[in-house]
Amino acid sequence: METLVVGAGAMGRWFARTVDGDVAFADADPDAADAAATAVGGRSVPLDADGRFDAVCVAVPISAGEAAIAEHAPKATRAVLDVTGVMAGSVAAMAEHAPDAERASLHPMFAPERAPGRVAVVRDAAGPVTDAVLDDVRAAGNEVYETTPTEHDAAMETVQAGAHAAVLAFALAADDVPEGLRTPVYDGLADLASQVTGNEPRVYAEIQETFDGAEAVADAARRIADADAEAFAALYEAAGGTADAAGGDG
């Protein structure tokens, strides 16, 4: 089986390394496609090539996802997948442009260099190809979490947009302090800020543009800043209940 991976960035390379079979890379930057093919194995093809492939995986930024699916999904003879990170629009676009193919949307919940981890999956039209892909994902040590487009995209408002906004706001607001005056909470937030800011800013910008969540964080910070002692205590208790619910049994 040969898969066309549209997008030769980190996520496209992760997919190509994880899934068994031959791979062809196509990218708006031909040099990037060549480099990915050299690094991962396989070949590079022009982005506008008319070839047909057993499967097509779209691994482009969120803002380009639906257009890329529309352009490249018809090249698949068996299955179309995406790893763009947003599911409602991607699943709808795959259904529209590849109605007779197997279809699945995957969202690795980690940066590729931190693999393995949890991979959210919507199997919109399951079959032997998508089943084999998920078997390969599991074989690489990942946990597969099956979800729906609505559940996934709603969760990303908190898990990505809200979380990133909170961490970045802390980093922007924090003053540098002597090491001897730092607390475990400060160190934990500083570590998170280093983790978030050590990646490509464009990716985080697209998450903020796609998912709501930052405004809720800003509103919560303002309520804390404006609260008197009694109101703060209420907010503190509410935050503790939210944290307990988010943490589950773990």
* Digitized pLDDT (tens) for each residue of the chain, 250 residues in all: 999 999 999 999 999 999 999 999 999 999 999 999 999 999 999 999 889 999 999 999 999 999 999 999 999 999 999 999 999 999 999 999 999 999 999 999 998 888 899 999 999 999 999 999 999 999 999 999 999 999 999 999 999 999 999 999 999 999 989 999 999 999 999 999 999 998 889 999 999 999 999 999 999 999 999 999 999 999 999 999 876 666 654 4
* Pair 59, 72: CB distance under 8 Å: no
- Which distant-in-sequence residues (6+ apart) come within 8 Å of 65 by Cβ? 58, 82, 84, 86, 89, 90, 93
pTM higher than 0.85: yes
- Give pLDDT, residue 249: 44
Going by C-beta distance under 8 Å and a sequence separation of 6 or more, which residues neighbour residue 85?
62, 107, 156, 207, 210
Amino acid 141 reads: G
Residue 250 has what pLDDT? 40
DSSP string, the chain: -EEEEE--SHHHHHHHHHS-SEEEEE-SSHHHHHHHHHHHSSEE--TT----EEEEEE---GGGHHHHHHHHGGGEEEEEEE-SS--HHHHHHHHHH-TTSEEEEEEESS-GGG-S-EEEEEEEE--HHHHHHHHHHHHTTPEEEE--HHHHHHHHIIIIIIHHHHHHHHHHHPPP--GGG--HHHHHHHHHHHHHHTS-HHHHHHHHHHS--HHHHHHHHHHHHH--HHHHHHHHHHHHHHHHHHHTT-
**Phi, psi of 81, rounded to the nearest 5 degrees:** -135, 165
Supply the pLDDT for residue 246: 67
Phi, psi of 64 (to 5 degrees): -100, 0
Identify the CA nearest to 142 among candidates 18, 7, 12, 16: 18
